[in-house]
């Protein structure tokens, strides 16, 4: 994917406690962090992702995008401070998508999206390399992930 330095440029953020790393995945749930993942600390209606920074780094996160500098923990590294984590996530997703040469297909509508997506996947998988998201990610957070 990208290095923390590249990500900071893409999201117009500032690196705190930087070091060399290469980001494998972008994750917003600290319970799913694996070594090499970049944690996205999203402030939600009921909880604040910044409260889980320590857990994310204990699980092997190589960095995090944050909007609250007060949340910095001792075990943290490659913290990228931004004004708005969601805006940063969208910018990062856009940059990642632009570097890919794959064809993307979006299924829209009121009913039948999941069935149509599954059907298309099974029809095409024997003919070409295809990917289908394991679940529904049709939110402003899920779609970029």
Q: Which CATH architecture has domain 4-98?
A: 3-Layer(aba) Sandwich (3.40)
pTM score, whole prediction: 0.80
- Answer whether residue 137 shows pLDDT above 70: no
Which single residue is written with the structure tokens 């992702």? 49
Q: Check the CA dihedral 94-98-104-109 and report its sign.
A: positive
What percent of the residues of the chain are helix, what percent strand, and what percent coil, each to the nearest 5? 35, 15, 50
Nearest-angstrom CA–CA distance, 4 and 131: 26
Radius of gyration of the chain (CA): 17
Give tens-digit pLDDT for 87-129. Answer: 999 999 999 888 888 888 878 888 888 888 889 989 999 999 8
pLDDT confidence of residue 139: 58
- Residue 77 — pLDDT band, cuts 50, 70, 90? confident
Of 10, 30, 45, whose CA–CA distance to 75 is shortest? Answer: 30
Give tens-digit pLDDT for 37-69. Answer: 999 999 988 999 999 999 999 999 999 999 998
- Residue 11 — pLDDT band, cuts 50, 70, 90? very high
| Residue-range domain boundaries for the chain | 4-98, 102-145
CB atoms within 10 A of CB 14: 12
Cα dihedral 63/68/69/74 (nearest 10)? -50
Which single residue is written with the structure tokens 């995008």? 65
């Amino acid at each position: 994917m990208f290095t923390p330095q590249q990500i900071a440029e893409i999201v117009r953020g500032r690196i705190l406690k930087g070091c060399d790393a290469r980001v494998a995945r972008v994750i917003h749930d600290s319970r799913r962090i694996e070594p090499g993942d970049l944690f996205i600390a999203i402030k939600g209606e009921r909880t604040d992702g910044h409260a889980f920074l320590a857990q994310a780094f204990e699980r092997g996160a190589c960095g995090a995008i944050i909007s609250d500098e007060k949340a910095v923990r001792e075990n943290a590294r490659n913290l990228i401070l931004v004004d708005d984590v969601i805006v940063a996530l969208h910018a990062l997703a856009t940059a990642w998508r632009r570097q890919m040469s794959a064809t993307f297909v979006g299924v829209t509508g009121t009913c039948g999206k999941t069935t149509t997506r599954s059907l298309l996947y099974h029809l095409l998988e024997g003919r070409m390399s295809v990917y289908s998201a394991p679940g529904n990610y049709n939110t402003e957070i899920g779609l970029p992930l």
